[in-house]
Amino acid sequence: MLWLTYRQHRMQLLITAALLVAVGILLLVNGNAVATSPDPAKLFQDLYTYLSWLQVVPVAIGVFWGAPLVAAEYERGTTKLAWTQSISRFRWLGVKLGFLAVLATLGGLAFGTMMQRWVEVFPTDRGDTAFTSRFDNPVLFAMTGVAPAAWWLFGFVLGTAAGALIRKALPAIAVTIAVTVGLMIGIANFRDLYAEPKLVPLGTEPAGRVLEMVTDAAGEVTALKILPPDWYWRFQWTEAAILAGVSILLAAAATFAIRRRS
């Protein structure tokens, strides 16, 4: 089953691997040039302009990896053959879903690790590179650390569940795009709610992103509510846990869908 799954999806796997290699080479070349560059901010911005589009890779994973996984089988009628063999439909889905889910997660983790290392080579003690903050920049936050692994997994499992429930590839693709993009926008807007902000008395140098100013009865500012930059990993694991939990529910929905439909 593993070898069959690889053969059926090797084109998607090879294209994704090629993308990761290409991105890795670009990051390596750009990052190595930082040490001798008089303007590291320009080096960063030149590549970031293009790399920022890669935040939509989870959508592509859902469209090209997930949606056809079950929906294409339904459309071709091959489920009737596959499910009458010695392998049960649950094992059939479990192997395909599990194998590709692991690869999607590892691919996202590799991408996040490369992006993380690239951002870290830029100096943090210069104002012109303040935008390289992984915590304050929502695009960098979603493309560094463990978040990409969770997003790639979510995109894939969502596409699979949509295909299993709808049983048509094109509608499943449309649902995958709409839901993934919508969730990305929603999480970006509500990410600051992952933890209660830290209260810093006025007069103390705030280290972090200021969310709110606290005022007294007279309207004078007395304190600031901030998110410290060292909460980056706390927020990363929170987001990863949320997406992993949703992915498990979607996998269960896909399993229920193939159980109820022949």
- List pLDDT tens digits, range 163-187: 999 999 999 999 999 999 999 999 9
- Rounded to an integer, what distance in angstroms lies between the CA atom of residue 181 and that of residue 38? 38
Task: Locate all alpha helices (DSSP H) within 77-205, ordered by sequence.
Answer: 78-82, 89-120, 138-143, 147-166, 169-190
When pLDDT is averaged across residues 101-109 and rounded to a whole number, the result is 96
Please give the residue that has the higher pLDDT: either 113 or 95: 113
Q: What is the pTM of this model?
A: 0.90
pLDDT at position 127, please?
46
- H-run or E-run covering 224: strand 221-227
Q: How confident is the model at residue 130 (pLDDT cuts 50, 70, 90)?
A: low
pLDDT at position 137, please?
87
How many residues make up the chain in this entry?
Answer: 262
Q: Which of 32-41, 93-102, 106-115, 199-208 has the lowest mean pLDDT?
A: 199-208
- Rounded to an integer, what distance in angstroms lies between the CA atom of residue 75 and that of residue 93? 16
Percent of the chain at pLDDT exceeding 70: 88
Please give the residue that has the higher pLDDT: either 33 or 92: 33
